[in-house]
């Protein structure tokens, strides 16, 4: 079975800064990883590439074995990739569950936010958070 996600040789630079150089990463079904590093190490840049906010200068992204070209957040979400941004991007008056579902709200009867369903799905498994 192919990995859920593969990044191969991802490189991204900005004027005067090499943010990511030849980054490769593989995620298998059911795995949970943490991306750690100092400020300026390129963590957010890499996640912004995966979420379609930035385009890599080099490298390839594969989702379930298929090479993809993620064109933006809607494209990423359609492929089962979501992103919960750093704390300053969250809405403090909202719960963790509400912030997780922000932009891709799950509703009951098309009216009421179904936070119970989202909370249950997120607690069960990260892969169950794919909205399709």
Least confidently predicted of 1-5, 44-48, 67-71, 121-125: 121-125
Number of domains the chain is built from? 2
SS3 readout for 77-105: HHCCCCCCCCHHHCCCCCCHHHHHHCCCC
State residue 97's pLDDT score: 73
Q: Are residues 73 and 130 in the same domain?
A: no
Q: Is 19 helix (H, G, I), strand (E, B) or coil?
A: strand
Indicate if 59 and 107 belong to the same structural domain: no
Domain that holds residue 91: 85-132
45 and 109, same structural domain?
A: no
Tell me: do 93 and 77 sit in the same domain.
no
pTM of full prediction above 0.75: no
For 52-109, the pLDDT digits (tens) are 999 999 999 999 999 999 999 889 988 888 877 666 666 778 777 776 766 666 777 7
Same domain, 4 and 68: yes
Q: Is the pLDDT of residue 2 over 90?
A: no
78 & 98 share domain: no
Q: Are residues 1 and 65 in the same domain?
A: yes
CA gap 130, 132 in Å, rounded: 6
Percentage of residues of the chain with pLDDT beyond 90 = 45
Q: Clarify whether residues 96 and 67 are in a common domain.
A: no
């Amino acid at each position: 079975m192919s990995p859920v996600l593969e990044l191969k040789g991802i490189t991204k630079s900005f004027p005067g800064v090499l943010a990511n150089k030849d980054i490769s990463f593989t995620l298998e079904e059911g795995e949970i990883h943490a991306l750690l590093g100092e400020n300026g190490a390129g963590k957010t840049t890499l996640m912004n590439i995966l979420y379609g906010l930035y385009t890599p200068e080099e490298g390839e992204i594969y989702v379930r074995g298929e090479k993809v070209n993620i064109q933006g957040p809607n494209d990423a979400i359609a492929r089962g990739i979501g992103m919960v941004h750093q704390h300053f991007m969250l809405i403090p008056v909202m719960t963790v569950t509400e912030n997780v579902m922000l932009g891709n709200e799950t509703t009951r009867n098309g009216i009421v936010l179904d936070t119970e369903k989202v909370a249950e799905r997120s607690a069960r498994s990260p892969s169950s958070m794919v909205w399709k």
